Amino acid sequence: MVLGRLTHFAFDAVLISAFLAGVKRSTGLTPTSIKASSLGESKEVQTWVDRYLGVGEWVMDQSIAVMGSSSWFERRR
């Protein structure tokens, strides 16, 4: 039961990260950098945020590659 709940939260976190990556690609909006005054370990937190958002970028890239090679999707411009 705990493993299922943990898997669910991890999947949700990846979906949110992928959503933020999509927003970044389509609009150019990115989260503001975390200021040292708000959190004590700013460099460490910024590293984790960058990694988290990097997962979303990777998921977006893989999703686009799969959809691009599928006959179920077509590219319209």
* pLDDT tens, residue by residue, 20-73: 888 888 888 877 654 444 555 677 777 888 899 899 999 999 999 999 999 999
The pLDDT assigned to 57 comes to 93
Structural domain range at position 44:
2-69
75 in any annotated domain: no
30-44 per-position pLDDT tens digit: 776 544 445 556 777
Q: CA–CA separation, 60 vs 74, rounded Å?
A: 17
Inside any domain, residue 74:
no
Q: Please check whether residue 14 lies inside any domain of the structure.
A: yes
Residue 76 resides in a domain: no
**How many domains are contained in the chain?**
1
Query: Considering the domain boundaries, does residue 77 fall inside one?
Result: no
Cα–Cα distance measured from residue 34 to residue 63, given in angstroms and rounded to the nearest whole number: 29
In a domain, 64, yes or no: yes
**Residue 63 counted as domain residue:** yes
